[in-house]
Structure 1
Amino acid sequence: MIGAITQSELKRLFRSPLAWTLLAVVLFLLAFLFLAFVDNFIHQIQPSNTAAEKPQGATVSIVTPVFTWAGIIMLAVLPLLTMRLVSEERQKQTWSLLAASPAKPWQIILGKYLSILFFITLACILISLMPLSLYSGTVIDGGQLFSSVFGLWLLLASLTAAGLYFSTLTSEPGTAALATFGLLLFLYVLQLSATMPGATSLLFYYLSPSSHYTPFLAAKFSSLHIIYFLLFIITFLWLSIRRIKNEIIFSQNNKFISWGKLAVGLCTIAAVAWLSAHYPLQTDISRQKKNSLPAEAVAVLKKLEGPVSITAVVDNKPEIHRRVRDALEPFMQSKKNITLEFVDIKLQRLQNKDSLDQRGQLVLEYNNKSETLHNLEQNQLISSFYRLAQGKQQWIVFLEGHGESNLLDTGSQGASKLASILKKQGYKTYSHNLVRSPTIPDNADMLVIAGAQKNFLPAEIKIITDYLQQGGALLWLHDDENLHSLEPLLEILPVEFLPGTIVNADPAIQKLIGSEHPAVFPVINYNNHPLAKDMDGQTVLAFARAVESTGQPPWQVKSFLQTLEASWNETGSLQGHVKHDADNEQGGPLSVGLSMQRPIGEQQQRIIVIGDKDFMTNELIGYGRNSELATRLFNWLGQNKIQFQISQQPIPDAKLEINPAKLNIIAVVFLLLLPLIFLFVGLWQWRLYRYRT
C-alpha cells in the first residue's frame, strides 16, 4: 500500500510543472555559485597557496560553500512541494476518497513522505555531480563530499517531515507553505538566540537544524547530529500520523488518554535527545583526518600520565563555552582524564585580579606546573601540552651585532615570524651580543649564527670556539662569500663552503616556485635524515652556498638538504642568462645543509650548517615546508625527548588543474543544458496539464 501511494504521489509530482521548474531554478542558482567559487579558487586562492602557511584545498573552498548555499536554497524550495501533499487534496476534494481507502494513516503519511524523499535524493545527486566534475583537475576529499551530501539529505528530509505535518493541518496549500516558512524562520531565530546568556540558549542551539548541519560540511560524523535529525523526522511524522488518525478514525477513547500518549511520546523523544547529547559517538571521515589531532599531538598527550585540569576564565556566555569545548574536544577524546571547568571572568575581576586578560584565558595545570593561553588555536594548545610534558623550556640564543637576522625585525629580512613560530613550539628565544656580554649564557641549549654580515672580533671567536669545544649545539646559517672571521669554526667542524651561488635555471622549476630568478630554487630531497622523517613537499632557498663534508673523525656527518640535478654553483654573474661551466663549477645534486654529531662524554654534540639564511627570514619562511623545516632543525638540535612538530600534511586538492575547455563544458552542462532540459519538461507538463483540464 505504501508503494502504491508513493508511486501515485510521484506521478502527481512529476506530471506537474512545479517540480521540474524548481529543479531547474535550484540547479541554475547552484551552478552559478559553483562556477563563481571555482573561478575564485583558480584566480585568488590557488596562487596564494604557494606562499601560504596553511593552504586551502578545493574541497573547503568550493564544495563546502556550495553545500552551504544548497541548504539555504533548498529550504526555501521545500515548502512549495510539501504544501500540496495533503492540503491540496483537501482543496480538490480528493482527500475523502483516500481517507476511505483501505490504507491506514501511517501508510498514507509514509507514502507521501517517500515521494518527496525521492525528489530530495534526486536533487542531492544532481548537486553532488558539480564537485565530482572537478575530479579531472584535482582530488576532491571524498569523505567530506559524502558527509556534505548526507548532511544535506538529512536536513532536507527533516524539514520535509515538518512541511508534511503543516500540510495536514489545513486545506489551503498557501497556508501550509507559509506555516512551514514560519517554522524555518523560527528555527533560524533560535540559532541567533543561542548566543544569549542563560541556560535556555543551550536548548535553542540544540533545536536549530543548522547547528547540526554545519558539522557535516566539515566531515564530522557524530551520533548527536544524526540522532537529532532522525528524532526531528520521527516527531513530525508521528504528529502527522496522529493528526490523520484523529481525522479519519473517530476514536471514543478518553481525551486524557490521548493526551497522555502524546506526553509519553514527547518525553521519550526528549530522553533520547538528552542521551545523544551527553553521550555522543563521533568520527572524522575526512581524507586526512583534519578534524582529529595529529599523531604528534597524541604522542605528546600520552606522555602526560596524570590528570590535566583546564580552567577557562571567560565570559559566562554559552556561545563562548561552546567554542572552548569544541576546541578542547579532540584533546579530551584522546586523553580521558582532562577536566574542564568554567569560571566567570567578571567574578574574577571583582576579586581584584587586575592582571587578567580582557579576552579571558585558559589555564592548563599538570603535575604542579601550569600554562596560560589567551586563544584557542590548536597549535598553541598542543604547544602548551608539550611544554607541560617536557617540563623544561629550552633556550635558543641568537647572536647579534654582525648584521644577523633580527628576531624583532618585522621586515622581509627579519626573523620575527621565526621567533613567533618558536614561541608556539615552546622555545624561549634570546638575542645576545657578545661585546655587551662576553659569555654565552649557561642556560643556552643551542646557539644560532644567522647570516653574519660583519667580522667577528677575536675575543668573540674565542667564546664561540670554547662553546663548541665544550659540546654546545650550534645552528650556523651562512651564505656570504666572506666568512667574516669565522674561519676558526672550520678547524673544529668537518665542513667547507663551495665557491659561488647555487642556481637552477630550469624554466619549469622557476614556474613551479613562482620565481624567475635562478638563485631561488626548491629542495625536495632530504636524504632520509631523521630530522626530516616523513617530511615531504618542497622547501624554498635563495642565494645559497653549497657545503661539503671534510670527513674528519670523530664527527658523523650527513647531508639533509640536497638540490636537484639541474643545479650548480654559479661562480660568475647572476645577471642575464646563466650557463653552467662544467670545467669550473660543480653540478647537482649539491648539499646545502649538513648535520654533524660527535660524542662529548656521555652526550652527543649536534651541529647543523646550512649555506642559506634566507629560508628562515620573514620573506620566505611561509613558502612550502620552510617553517616546518625550521622547527625540525631546532627539535633535532635540542635532542628533545618528545620530538614535537606538527608536520604539515600536503593538501592534495591545493591545486585545480583544469583546462578552459573542460571548464566551459562543465559550465554549459550545469548552468545551461540541465536547467533548460528541466525547464522544457516543466513547460511541456504545464501544456499537458492545460490540455487535460
Structure 2
Amino acid sequence: MASKFLMQHPQFKLLIINLAFTAWLLAVAILLQQLATDHPVQWDMTQNGNNSLSDSTVNVLAQMPGKIKLTMFINENQGDMQQAARDFVATYQRYKPDIRLIFIDPEKQPEQARKANIRLNGEMLVDYGGRRERLSQLNEQAFTGLLLRMMRTRNQLVRYLDTHGEPSLEGNREHDLGKFGRQLRQNGFRLEGLNLAQASKIPIDTSILILTQPQIDLLPGEIEKLLHYVAGGGNLLWLVDFGPLHGLERMAENLDILLTPGIVIDPAAEEMNLPATWALGANYPPHVITQNFNLTTTFPLARSIDWEESDAWHRIPLAEVAPRGWLSHNIPEDKPYFNSTQDVPGPITIALTLQRNINDREQRIAIVGSSLFLANAYSGNGGNLDLGVGMVNWLGHEEIFISPRLRPVKDDTVTLSKTDLGILNGSLLVALPMLLISVGAVLWWRNLRHAQK
C-alpha cells in the first residue's frame, strides 16, 4: 500500500529521501562535533605559524610555575588589534591556562598609563614572579624571548675580549659575532666587552668569558690574567681559528689542548654545493648540549681540536666532522686533494668540552675550532646559532634553557593590485555562489527525475 502510494506521488518519495539524508547528515555532524570536542586536533597552515607554538616555546611554558599577567594598553575603539592580541595569547593559554590578559584604554585611564610609563599604543606589560618587562612587538620570537629573560634569576654576565682586533659580539661586520650576541641578549644574558690591559684582573662577576681570535699579540700580562681566570675555575668559550694564536699558545698548553696546523676539507660540503673548506656537522657525540639536536651546522675554515690524555680534565668531543674528508696542511687554492704525506684523514674533532671540579664547584670550558661558524656572514646557516647559544647555556650551568632557537618571524604581508582585488572579489561574491547554485540545481533535477521513474 505504502509503495503504491509513493509510486503515485513521487514528490513524497523525494521528500522522504531528502529528510532521511538530512537526518543522516545531522547525525554525522553531531558525531564529528563530539569527536572534535573529545579529541581536538589542529593544523596550522600559516607561514609564520601564527596559530601554533614551536617546541622551544612549549618547553619554556612547561618550566614556568606561577601566573603570568599581561596588561595591554590600547584604545577601546581598536577592536581588531584587541582581537589579534586575544588570538595570539590564546595559543599560549593552550599550554599555560593561568596566563591572564587584560586591556586598559590609555585615553579613559590616563593615570594608569602615566604610572606605567606607556609610550606606545598597544604596548604590553608582562608581570611574572615579581618582575616586570615591556613588550612592543606581538610575535612568538619577541614574547617567548621575553619570558626566557624573566625566567633567568641569575642575570649572568658574559664578557668578551675586543681590544686585539677580535670579532665583536656587538658588531655588524661580516666577521663579527653581532647576531650571536643579540641572540644571547634575547635569551637573558648580559654582554660586556673587556679590556685586559686596563683591568687588574678578569672581574669576579664574569659568569662566562668568550675568547675569539686576536689579530695582534696579547701582552704577557694579559696572558697571565687569562691563565689566572682559568686556574681559578672561570668558565670559558674559546673560538680558535686557523692561523697564528698571537700568544694564546700558553692557553692551549695549560688546557692540554693540541692544535694541529691545517683546516678541515669536507667532501660532503662540496656535494651540497658549498666550499670544501666548510665542514658540515650532522652527527654529534652524546652531550647535554647536543641532546635532541638534529640540525646541520657549518664550520668554515675549521681547525682540529685534539688533546693530550690527562686526569686534570674530563673531556667530551662535541662535534666530529668530515668522516670522508681530511685535515689539510694548507688552504687549497684549486680543487682539494688528499696528500698522504702531510694531511690527516677524517673524522676530525673540531669542538670539545672540558669539565673539572675546583673550588667546590664545576668548571666548564668549550673550545671550537672556528669562530666563523658564529660570524654574521655564516651564523644563519643550519643550527649554528642554536649550537652557540646551547654552549653558552651549558657553560652557565643552565641546561634547562638548551633548546632549538625560536623560529623567526617572516613577512606575511600580501599586496594585491586593484585588478587582482577585483578578480578575487568577483570570484568570491559572484562566481563561487553561482557555481554552488548550479551544482545544487543539477543535483535537484537529477533527484527529481529519479523519483519520477
Shift of 1:471: 0.7
* 3-state SS of 2:327 partner: strand
In structure 2, what is the equivalent of residue 11 of structure 1? none
> Quick one: which amino acid aligns to residue 334 of structure 1?
Y
Q: Say what the alpha-carbon RMSD is for the aligned residues.
A: 3.3
In structure 1, what is the equivalent of residue 450 of structure 2? none
Task: Say whether the 8 Å CA contact 2:149–2:186 is kept in structure 1.
Answer: no
Match of 1:612 among 370, 381, 387: 370
Superposed CA offset, 1:216-251 (max 9, x none): xxxxxx979x99xxxxxxxxxxxxxxxxxxxxxxxx
Measure, in 2, the Cα distance between the counterparts of 1:459 and 1:335. 52
Match of 1:321 among 71, 76, 82: 82
In structure 1, what is the equivalent of residue 220 of structure 2? 458
Superposed CA offset, 1:603-622 (max 9, x none): 11000111100010111111
Aligned ranges for residues 171-186 of structure 1 at < 5 Å?
Answer: none
Match of 2:158 among 356, 377, 396: 396
Match of 2:11 among 93, 101, 121: 101
In structure 2, what is the equivalent of residue 19 of structure 1? none
Task: Say whether the 8 Å CA contact 2:279–2:302 is kept in structure 1.
Answer: no
Aligned ranges for residues 92-241 of structure 1 at < 5 Å?
Answer: 101-103=11-13, 108=18
Measure, in 1, the Cα distance between the counterparts of 2:203 and 2:39. 51
In structure 2, what is the equivalent of residue 548 of structure 1? 306
Measure, in 2, the Cα distance between the counterparts of 1:646 and 1:326. 25
In structure 2, what is the equivalent of residue 18 of structure 1? none
Choose 565-574 or 466-475, whichever is displaced more. 565-574
Structure with more strand by fraction: 2
* 3-state SS of 2:180 partner: helix
Q: Does 1:422 align with 2:422?
A: no
> Quick one: which amino acid aligns to residue 561 of structure 1?
A
Superposed CA offset, 1:618-648 (max 9, x none): 1111101111111111111111162342367
Distance 1:364 1:282, change over 3 A: farther
Choose 625-634 or 417-426, whichever is displaced more. 417-426
In structure 2, what is the equivalent of residue 530 of structure 1? 288
Q: Does 1:405 align with 2:167?
A: yes
Shift of 1:285: 4.6
Match of 2:258 among 477, 488, 496: 496
Q: Does 1:435 align with 2:197?
A: yes
Measure, in 2, the Cα distance between the counterparts of 1:489 and 1:541. 22
Measure, in 2, the Cα distance between the counterparts of 1:110 and 1:428. 69
Task: Say whether the 8 Å CA contact 2:264–2:327 is kept in structure 1.
Answer: yes
Structure with more helix by fraction: 1
Match of 1:336 among 97, 105, 111: 97
Distance 1:310 1:648, change over 3 A: closer
Measure, in 2, the Cα distance between the counterparts of 1:576 and 1:102. 87
Q: Does 1:509 align with 2:419?
A: no
Superposed CA offset, 1:436-482 (max 9, x none): 43432332210001222221111211211111111111000011321
Structure 1 runs not aligned, ≥5 long: 1-96, 118-153, 155-221, 228-278, 650-684, 686-693
* 3-state SS of 1:340 partner: strand
Measure, in 2, the Cα distance between the counterparts of 1:355 and 1:648. 29
In structure 2, what is the equivalent of residue 147 of structure 1? none
Superposed CA offset, 1:358-383 (max 9, x none): 25322221221122222122133223
Choose 372-381 or 491-500, whichever is displaced more. 372-381
Match of 2:63 among 275, 286, 303: 303
In structure 2, what is the equivalent of residue 24 of structure 1? none
In structure 2, what is the equivalent of residue 579 of structure 1? 337
Distance 1:367 1:647, change over 3 A: closer
Shift of 1:335: 1.8
> Quick one: which amino acid aligns to residue 616 of structure 1?
L
Structure 2 runs not aligned, ≥5 long: 1-7, 408-441, 443-453
* 3-state SS of 1:101 partner: helix
Match of 1:592 among 350, 360, 382: 350
Task: Say whether the 8 Å CA contact 1:409–1:415 is kept in structure 2.
Answer: yes
Distance 1:282 1:479, change over 3 A: same
Task: Say whether the 8 Å CA contact 1:635–1:644 is kept in structure 2.
Answer: yes
TM-score by length of 2: 0.77
Distance 1:557 1:347, change over 3 A: farther
* 3-state SS of 2:367 partner: strand
Measure, in 1, the Cα distance between the counterparts of 2:158 and 2:136. 24
Q: Does 1:623 align with 2:381?
A: yes
In structure 1, what is the equivalent of residue 419 of structure 2? none
Task: Say whether the 8 Å CA contact 2:73–2:104 is kept in structure 1.
Answer: yes
Measure, in 2, the Cα distance between the counterparts of 1:598 and 1:614. 28
Distance 1:368 1:442, change over 3 A: same
> Quick one: which amino acid aligns to residue 294 of structure 2?
D
TM-score by length of 1: 0.52
Measure, in 2, the Cα distance between the counterparts of 1:346 and 1:489. 61
* 3-state SS of 1:331 partner: helix
Shift of 1:596: 0.4
* 3-state SS of 2:179 partner: helix
Task: Say whether the 8 Å CA contact 1:390–1:642 is kept in structure 2.
Answer: no
Task: Say whether the 8 Å CA contact 2:152–2:188 is kept in structure 1.
Answer: no
Q: How many percent identity over aligned positions?
A: 23
In structure 1, what is the equivalent of residue 415 of structure 2? none
Computing the radius of gyration over CA atoms, which structure comes out larger, 1 or 2? 1
Distance 1:104 1:524, change over 3 A: closer
* 3-state SS of 1:418 partner: helix
Measure, in 1, the Cα distance between the counterparts of 2:360 and 2:54. 33
Superposed CA offset, 1:406-460 (max 9, x none): 1232221122211221122121112222224343233221000122222111121
> Quick one: which amino acid aligns to residue 325 of structure 1?
R
Distance 1:381 1:480, change over 3 A: same
* 3-state SS of 1:530 partner: coil
Superposed CA offset, 1:647-687 (max 9, x none): 679xxxxxxxxxxxxxxxxxxxxxxxxxxxxxxxxxxx9xx
Shift of 1:340: 1.2
Distance 1:648 1:355, change over 3 A: closer
Shift of 1:485: 0.6
In structure 1, what is the equivalent of residue 394 of structure 2? 636
